[in-house]
Structures are given as C-alpha cells and as structure tokens.
Amino acid sequence: MKKLILLSIGIISLLPACKKNDSDDNSSKIMGKWTMVQDRSVTTVNGVDTRDTLNFASVCYADFHSDGTVYSYMKDTTAPFPVEISDTLQYRVQGNTLYTATAGDWHASDIITLTGQHLSIRSRDTSVTSAGTEITVTESDLIK
C-alpha cells in the first residue's frame, strides 16, 4: 500500500523551467487520461539499495485536466488486502517539472519523457525511519 501511495504522489508530481514555450508545450501535452504501466523504484537505507518493480493493471490511470486538477485512480487486487485509491490533486507544469499538491504541500517530479503517447516521470522521497534515512527514487511510465 505504501508503494501505491508513493506512486500516487510520484505520478501526480516534477523541476526548474527551461523556456516558456517548453512549459506551454508540456502543459498541453500532459493533458488527458494516462494509463499507469510500470513503477520502478530504488530505496536506499544506510547505503543499501533495494530495487522494486510494480506493474499496474490496465484500470490504473491519471487524468490531467486543463483547470489544473489531476484525478488518479489505482486498484491492486493482488495484495493480501485489495487496495483501491482515488484522489484529485492540483498540478502545474513548469519546463520539465511536474508539480502536484497534496494538502497544500507541493511535490516536484522530473519529466523524463513526454510525447503524445508516453509519459515518464521521476520522483524522489526522503523519510527518516528507525533504520535511518530512507531515500526512494521512483520512475513511473504511463501511456495514452
């Protein structure tokens, strides 16, 4: 479930602007419904990396609207306890960065690829646990 929540934040999150034209172009390209395909993550705790890949069912998606909102829906029926998550967030695109807001807190994700049919983003999350500082870098692929 933690992975689905992190993915939701990651998919619905991106870095500094390049040119105004790039930002406008990426803003228009990102609009629409994107099917979540795969999430690849590397979590590092005390110098030890753990890699994970999560493949999504075809019902998982993010839908970016022109009013600056994005609706996401994820369902995992393979977990010991089936999980279903939906959320509506604010978003904005500046250059090659996708910003999303959860509870007024903005998160940034790098847009790696954005074409008419493929969106790939990278997000980074840091948390402090009893085992030490945990850094998770997630790359997510979506298609139209």
Q: How far apart are CA 79 and CA 61, in angstroms?
A: 18
For 62-114, how does the pLDDT look when each residue is reduced to its tens digit (9 = 90+)? 999 999 999 999 988 777 778 899 999 999 999 999 999 988 899 999 999 99
Residue 117 has pLDDT above 50, yes or no: yes
Ranges assigned E (strand) in 3-131: 32-45, 48-55, 61-64, 69-76, 83-94, 97-102, 105-114, 118-129
The residue ranges of every structural domain in the chain are 2-143
CATH architecture assigned to 2-143: Beta Barrel (2.40)
Whole-prediction pTM value? 0.78
C-beta of residue 123 within 8 angstroms of C-beta of residue 109: yes
